Amino acid sequence: MTDYFLALLADPAAWAALATLIAMEVVLGIDNLIFISILTNKLPEEKRSFARRLGIGMAVVMRLGLLGTIAIIVTLTEPVFEVFGKGFSWRDLILIAGGLFLVWKATKEIRHHVDPPDEGDVFERKDVSLGMAAAISQILVLDLVFSIDSIITAVGMTEHIPIMVVAVLVTVAVMLLAADPLANFIARNPTVVMLALGFLLLIGTTLIAEGFGAHVPKGYIYSAMAFSALVEGLNLLTRRKKPKDTPGH
């Protein structure tokens, strides 16, 4: 076992695989983090940070647990039934279900922001514990979807479990560091909330397409998201400068 780890440490290909996997996992983790940020911002302020850390903690437990059953996870890509000649695996079904959930949740939140209901929603009830339970349960659903997709992707990049474990731990550490700043930034800027919900719609649609076998290159998705974020960043800078430049203020 010691020789195995020493061989990994001395193998440049292993380090290259680790760096690539960490970068990929961090990018994939952004999807999960955006969802967690929007969802936990619905909770009372004193509960938000705890809920974020709990949600991210459940993600790491789930991913490490899935790594322990990697032989089973790999079989999730094998078709279990066919419809009109198209085979569907358990991974496809999980991606479709997760995508539908994201589309439903993002659409519901967009409607809530555009036309807020007078009676509030499930996260605004007087009973805080119900709000916390609802938030954690929904985070858990998306954790499962993103975790399975993340592990299957990792298996395709390397066969070494220690590399996968290190990549997962580094990714979760980055998510923990970024969780509160990202969530606070989204909470302070209402237009960013709408942009983030648009991202979730895009991600959900992509998951559904992947589940039906239509591969969408991730580079296109994240390039579009980065461009949209850049435009929104310029809008934020413009709005912040406008009061200073306006005469009489």
> Is the CB of residue 100 less than 8 Å from the CB of residue 208?
yes
Q: What DSSP state is assigned to residue 85? A: T
Q: Read off the pLDDT of residues 66-113 as tens digits, 9 standing for 90 and up.
A: 777 766 766 777 788 888 778 888 878 888 888 888 888 888 878 877
Average pLDDT, the chain: 76
**Is residue 248, in this structure, part of any structural domain at all?**
no
Whether 12 maps to a domain, the answer reads no
Decide: helix, strand or coil at residue 79. strand
Residue 47: helix, strand or coil by DSSP? helix
Judge whether residue 184 has pLDDT over 70: yes
Range of 140's domain? 25-226
pLDDT at res. 127: 41
Report the run of H or E that residue 88 belongs to, with start and end: strand 86-89
Question: DSSP letters of 127-192?
Answer: -HHHHHHHHHHHHHHHHHHHHHHHHHHHHHH-S-HHHHHHHHHHHHHHHHHHHHHHHHHHHH-HHH
pLDDT surpasses 50 at 126: no
Q: How confident is the model at residue 244 (pLDDT cuts 50, 70, 90)?
A: low
Residue 208, in any domain of the structure: yes
Report which of residues 152 and 19 the model is more confident about: 19
244 falls within a domain: no
Q: How many domains does the chain divide into? A: 1
Q: What is the mean pLDDT of residues 123-138?
A: 61
Does position 197 have pLDDT exceeding 50, yes or no? yes
